[in-house]
A and B are shown apart, each in its own frame.
Chain A
């Protein structure tokens, strides 16, 4: 996704609908700057602006993917243990006729 930085005046005057381009605010939150997202505008002084926390979505997603990959790797490391891996010998899976309920 493309991110572009523009002057506040240009952002304020722009009303072009451009769904493929994300007009992202990369500058400080002061003033009445505008952020265009899928053709909609959100002012900085609106309450929703608080959620524009730390910038780039792509970076956040990349970190999420890296964290997930590390977690999956650690999980696989855990379950491939030769002692208590997939075999799970502590779980009795053989049929025990004594446990059968007589009707």
Chain B
């Protein structure tokens, strides 16, 4: 009986690169969401409804990544991330068009980071995500090596991915609680937390 020695080294390297790439994307999104929540709680900058939808879209990107890390590679999971990135792009373009001409009640909400406001950053983030996925598919394309090597075969990346996944889930839970405090079950406003009045 022939013994299975696993995929060849080059395929293992490709698989490791793919999982490292996914973890890196999740790390960046987790950083962005942490920054947004820090500004919300430290500076009192309450998010607008479209800002909240942008957070949902970023969490959707992470959802697809987490499924890929957790259950093995599937184009279905990748599609969840891509759909969320497209939704992020649509919402952020809409918000930028809404705020592009300052007028009462429709200024850019929140602080500018490096001179750019959050909706414009969201466009950059969405385009970066879509471009990064396209480049990944072009360079690391194919899927045979991903089906042969699972995340469990790379203990270091696996541990990092586990911690990141739990952190993103924690952000999602805190965000959900925060939205409930801010909006209740009605329309969202950026004046104050509705349930704390």
Contact = CB atoms under 8 A, between A and B. Distances in A.
B9 to A, nearest CB: 19
Contacts of A40: 72, 150
A86 B127 CA distance: 23
A26 interface: no
Contact of B158 (A37, A51, A68, A71): A51
Contacts of B125: none
Q: Chain B contact residues: over half helix, strand or loop, or mixed?
A: helix
Q: Chain A contact residues: over half helix, strand or loop, or mixed?
A: helix
Interface in A59-81: 60-61, 64, 67-68, 71-72, 74-75, 78-79
A84 B106 contact: yes
A2 to B, nearest CB: 15
Interface stretch (B31-39, B129-137, B161-169): B161-169
A47 B67 CA distance: 16
A88 interface: yes
Interface stretch (B86-94, B112-120, B189-197): B86-94
Given A88-B97, A90-B101, A71 B152 contact: no
A75 B97 contact: no
A88 B162 CA distance: 44
Interface in A14-56: 37-38, 40, 42-43, 46-53
B53 to A, nearest CB: 5
B82 interface: no
A84 B98 CA distance: 8
A91 B97 contact: yes
B72 A37 contact: yes
Interface residues of B, number: 39
B80 A64 contact: yes
B83 interface: yes
30 contacts: A37-B150, A40-B72, A46-B152, A46-B155, A47-B152, A47-B158, A47-B159, A48-B151, A48-B152, A48-B153, A48-B155, A48-B158, A49-B152, A51-B151, A51-B158, A51-B161, A60-B63, A60-B67, A64-B60, A68-B87, A71-B53, A71-B57, A75-B53, A75-B87, A75-B90, A75-B91, A79-B94, A88-B98, A90-B101, A90-B106
Interface of A: 37-38, 40, 42-43, 46-53, 57, 60-61, 64, 67-68, 71-72, 74-75, 78-79, 84, 88, 90-91
Interface of B: 49-50, 53, 56-57, 60, 63, 66-67, 69-72, 80, 83-84, 87, 90-91, 94, 97-98, 100-101, 103, 106, 147, 150-153, 155, 158-159, 161-162, 165-166, 169
